[in-house]
Amino acid sequence: MSAVDFSEQHPTPAQLVAAGVKAAVVKLNATNRPTTQLVQSYCAAGIVTAFYFEAEANDAAGGAPMGQLRATQAEELLLGILGAGWAADVPIYFAVDENVAPSMTADYFVGIRRVLPCWRIGVYSDGAVLEYLAKIALALFAWQSSSASYPGNAATSARAQLRQLAEISPVPGTDVDQILAADFGQWPRPK
């Protein structure tokens, strides 16, 4: 296993190391976010951390104003965890966790782009959305969901740096992910 992602529970570094995990993809939002101490303890155990933001599954329907709001919230949360010196270099994945036409996500990511530079923007979604946002240069990082019924998920997208797998994780409360690129937006940043 290469990586796990989670939203509600925060596994300990010992749990992740015992399962052979090399990376943790953790959720940022107002009700559930990792602490500085947790992220630093992962780093000390040799586990890198990537970050994703999701408040509501249908955030993308809110267009540019919602994208701008969510990017601002995500950036504030990341600054609170990593501090200004580190957070300015770390990408954030924004979840589009529903079956929508790829073109319906563009305005949302335009709003995100008003807050963050493109090289710090990632998307978690199905393969069709990943391909579309990469084509129009609104998301540099791509994390493909495991939802088999969503468009573009029959095969791994060439744009994906991470791929969520439909496997049972040995770490309770987590999902398994495959790392597909040396740089998938992790902290500490690769050299």
pLDDT, one tens digit per residue, over 17-61 is: 999 999 999 999 988 889 999 999 999 999 999 999 999 989 999
The angle subtended at Cα 45 by Cα 2 and Cα 187, nearest 5°, is: 65
Element (H, E) at 33: none
List the single range of 63-67, 73-77, 99-103, 108-112 with lowest mean pLDDT. 99-103
- Look at residue 120 and tell me if it is in a domain: yes
- Look at residue 16 and tell me if it is in a domain: yes
The DSSP secondary structure of 48-67, one letter per residue, reads: EEEEEE-S-TTGGGGHHHHH
d(CA 144, CA 139): 13
| Total number of domains constituting the chain | 1
- Look at residue 184 and tell me if it is in a domain: no
**CATH code for the domain of 155:** 3.20.20.80
Q: Which domain holds residue 149?
A: 3-179
- Where does the pLDDT of residue 167 fall: very low under 50, low under 70, confident under 90, or very high at 90 and above? confident
pLDDT per position as a tens digit, 87-122: 889 999 999 988 889 999 999 999 999 999 999 999
- Look at residue 27 and tell me if it is in a domain: yes
